[in-house]
Structure 1
Amino acid sequence: MKAIQMTAAGGPEVLRPVDMAAPTIAGPGQVRVHVRAAGVNPIDTKIRSRGPFFPDALPIILGLDGAGVVAEVGEAVTGLAPGDEVWYCNGGLGREPGNYAEYTVIDAAVARRKPAGVDFAEAAAGPLVLLTAWEGLFDRAGLQGGQTVLVHAGAGGVGHVAIQLAKWAGARVATTVGTPEKAALVREFGADHVIDYRREDFVAATLAWTGGRGVDVCLDTVGGETFARSVAATAHYGSLITLLEPDTGTAWGEARTRNLKIGFELMLTPLLRALPEARAHQGDILDRCAKLIQRGSLRVHVSRRYPLDEAAAAHAEIERGRVTGKLVLLP
């Protein structure tokens, strides 16, 4: 099969197209998937530049997000059959092969039915960002209808689905963007208030929008100074959830005075720590998102599709920092 291997830590040039043997089922509960599309995420570029999470893993195949057709099932698999269309988030961290390849083997419990009526590219773009947004908003922050939310970088991968999920839950949503084009895009996704962070102070704009109160929930997808300044944009007793590690110099006094609930969201934890119950919960989230997609309440925006052998170009595009929605590779 054709695949993209990461041969060393470094720039996009370390991603090399190779021909290799297709993986085979090694356990009775596994399925072999013909990968029809693989999502490209910022975490892929970070692993490529810094090295895999697990020692002595190189060379590896990157890519957590995938969608494809079941080609073969293990003898103990009962819920799936060859020909079934699935989507999933699995591998790509160094312990298991990822999805920058024509075939992969995964546990049957991880493979969930692809949303009907959605093409493989849109399905492959979804799992990681949907899981991150859902866990951040609902599992970590406990978002409820009628609350206010600030989503940073609303035109990005996590941001654009977080806006839609928050609106589906009945919240009012503000979001930050950096260009007029991105502003138009987030309005399509339902944002109630759009803040151009290059032209206005997002804290002042958020306070003005909420009558000086601040938002009930802030989802930080940027980190650094944005996280630190978001404290002042979050209401007393509110929730500030971040996808990144705060700077060591972050001043926590105001967050404590406001009695903020500070939460961390890393959807990779079940993959890194082998937590089967958490993996099952993530599968249930994908099933719920599939229903929302089929009802037209949620969509994943794919801004560009690349042939598999142009994985390095996709990584370079992400690192330029101008991507809206998601990029996808097509094996």
Structure 2
Amino acid sequence: MRAIIYSEPGSADVLRFVERAVPEPGAGEVRVRIAVSGVNPTDWQARRSGAAGFPEITPHLDGAGTIDAVGEGVDEHRIGQRVWVFLAAAGRPTGTAAEFAVVPADRTVPLPDDVGFDVGAALGVPALTAHRALTVAEDGPSRLAPGALDGKVVLAAGGAGAVGHAVIQLARWAGATVISTVSSPEKARLATAAGAHHVIDYRAGAPADVIRALAPDGVDIVAEVAFAANVDLDLAVLRPRGTIAVYANDGGANVELDVMTSMIRNARMQFVVLYTAGRQARDAAVEAVAAAVRAGALPVGDEHGLPLLRFPLEHTADAHRAVEGHAVGKVLVDVAPRRC
């Protein structure tokens, strides 16, 4: 099979396009014929860190395709099932940047026949992270569903990013009023297309005043991509007992925090990373995201606020460079030939 591998840490140049034997699934595993592989910042960060004790790693956590073999203990009726894959390479050497990926069966989720592999490959890390960010509030639900966020106001910082896009879509599906902050008119267009009710350019005027005018009682949940840069704005618009869910450090690694304002707000600051969130939170996210997919609530593409940037498998290094360069949209690698 055709695959991408790396055996040492480094830049995208360490990625190699190779031929490897088709792997066989072990007990509790399935083999997925990958159609589309999704690329996340975590993938290039892992590549920079190295091969984690494995002789070689095939990168990428997310993808979509069709199960074509199952290991011992897995229902044979899953063969032929279209699925989306998440956390494929988490603690394992077999990610989705290959024609076949062997993964634990519980990291594959059925994909409806009327939902494309592009959607499936864009789920995983972004959608599950978004769900976690939206379900850590003191007064909020532990699992999203229609109506779960009725009456709540969600602020999606960086609504044109992959996680921000999923935050907007999932929050709106769950009934919230969604405000998004962006840095340009083009990103405003994307956040609006994703479903945000209100979009604010945080570089213009006084964004805290604008948000407070839209949400006089304050924001219930902030899904934050750049906490160090945005902490003052977040605290200025947060309601009492509101939550700031921090899922990335795009604004810097260190935060100067106004402790008294945080105390007066009874603010909750929840740091979010998918890998250590725990099985209960992960399972709740998978179930809710799967339901949202079935409901048609998580479409992708420019018209839905998430442009798709595509690369063939042999150009996976260029896909990594695009993500490292903060390309706007979702970067996908076409593993199988696309059908028109």
Q: Tell whether the structures are fold-level matches, with TM greater than 0.5.
A: yes
Report deviation, 1:285. Answer: 3.2
Q: Give the match's secondary structure for 2:25.
A: coil
Report deviation, 1:7. Answer: 2.9
Asked if the contact 2:126–2:166 (Cα under 8 Å) also holds between the matched residues in 1, the reply is yes
State the match for 2:331 in structure 1.
327
Tell me if 1:90 matches 2:95. no
State the match for 1:316 in structure 2.
321
Q: Which AA in structure 2 matches 1:269? A: T
Instruction: Kindly report which structure 2 residues correspond to 1:94-173, keeping only aligned pairs within 5 A, or say none.
Output: 94-140=91-137, 142=140, 144-173=149-178
Report deviation, 1:205. Answer: 2.8
Normalised by the size of structure 1, how large is the TM-score? Answer: 0.88
Q: Which AA in structure 1 matches 2:275? A: L
State the match for 2:303 in structure 1.
none
Q: Give the match's secondary structure for 1:224.
A: helix
Asked if the contact 1:67–1:85 (Cα under 8 Å) also holds between the matched residues in 2, the reply is yes
After TM superposition, the structure 1 stretch with the greater mean CA deviation from structure 2, 221-230 or 15-24, is: 221-230
- Cα deviation per residue 1:1-48 (whole Å; 9 max; x = unaligned)? 111112322222121111112221222x22111111111011112122
1:81/1:220 CA distance change after superposition, 3 Å: same
State the match for 1:200 in structure 2.
205
Instruction: Kindly report which structure 2 residues correspond to 1:167-186, keeping only aligned pairs within 5 A, or say none.
Output: 167-186=172-191
State the match for 1:23 in structure 2.
23
Which consecutive unaligned segments of at least 5 residues does structure 1 have?
none
Report deviation, 1:73. Answer: 1.3
Report deviation, 1:201. Answer: 4.0
What is the alpha-carbon distance in structure 2 between the residues aligned to residue 79 and residue 302 of structure 1? 36
State the match for 1:210 in structure 2.
215
Matched positions, count = 319
What is the alpha-carbon distance in structure 2 between the residues aligned to residue 110 and residue 116 of structure 1? 19
State the match for 2:262 in structure 1.
255
Identify which of 59, 64, 69 aligns with 1:62.
59
Asked if the contact 2:136–2:245 (Cα under 8 Å) also holds between the matched residues in 1, the reply is no
Asked if the contact 1:72–1:82 (Cα under 8 Å) also holds between the matched residues in 2, the reply is yes
Displaced runs of 4 or more, over 6 A: none
Asked if the contact 1:4–1:308 (Cα under 8 Å) also holds between the matched residues in 2, the reply is yes
State the match for 1:299 in structure 2.
299
Q: Which AA in structure 2 matches 1:220? A: E
Q: Give the match's secondary structure for 2:9.
A: coil
Identify which of 187, 193, 198 aligns with 1:188.
193
What is the alpha-carbon distance in structure 2 between the residues aligned to residue 150 and residue 314 of structure 1? 29
- Cα deviation per residue 1:278-299 (whole Å; 9 max; x = unaligned)? 4xx5355334333323333332
Q: Which AA in structure 1 matches 2:112? A: P
What is the alpha-carbon distance in structure 2 between the residues aligned to residue 201 and residue 96 of structure 1? 47
Asked if the contact 2:156–2:223 (Cα under 8 Å) also holds between the matched residues in 1, the reply is yes
1:96/1:269 CA distance change after superposition, 3 Å: farther
Q: Which AA in structure 1 matches 2:248? A: L
Q: Give the match's secondary structure for 2:107.
A: coil
State the match for 2:34 in structure 1.
35
Q: Give the match's secondary structure for 1:95.
A: coil
Q: Which AA in structure 2 matches 1:321? A: H
Report deviation, 1:59. Answer: 2.6
State the match for 2:223 in structure 1.
219
Tell me if 1:290 matches 2:295. no
- Cα deviation per residue 1:164-216 (whole Å; 9 max; x = unaligned)? 111122111110112212211211222111111232343333223223x4311
Report deviation, 1:239. Answer: 0.8
Q: Which AA in structure 1 matches 2:108? A: A
What is the alpha-carbon distance in structure 1 between the residues aligned to residue 131 and residue 85 of structure 2? 15
Asked if the contact 1:112–1:283 (Cα under 8 Å) also holds between the matched residues in 2, the reply is no
Asked if the contact 1:221–1:242 (Cα under 8 Å) also holds between the matched residues in 2, the reply is yes
Instruction: Kindly report which structure 2 residues correspond to 1:39-50, keeping only aligned pairs within 5 A, or say none.
Output: 39-50=38-49
State the match for 2:240 in structure 1.
236
Which consecutive unaligned segments of at least 5 residues does structure 2 have?
142-148, 301-305, 336-340
1:242/1:216 CA distance change after superposition, 3 Å: same
Tell me if 1:6 matches 2:6. yes
RMSD over aligned Cα, in angstroms? 2.2
State the match for 2:275 in structure 1.
268
Report deviation, 1:243. Answer: 0.7
Q: Which AA in structure 2 matches 1:243? A: Y
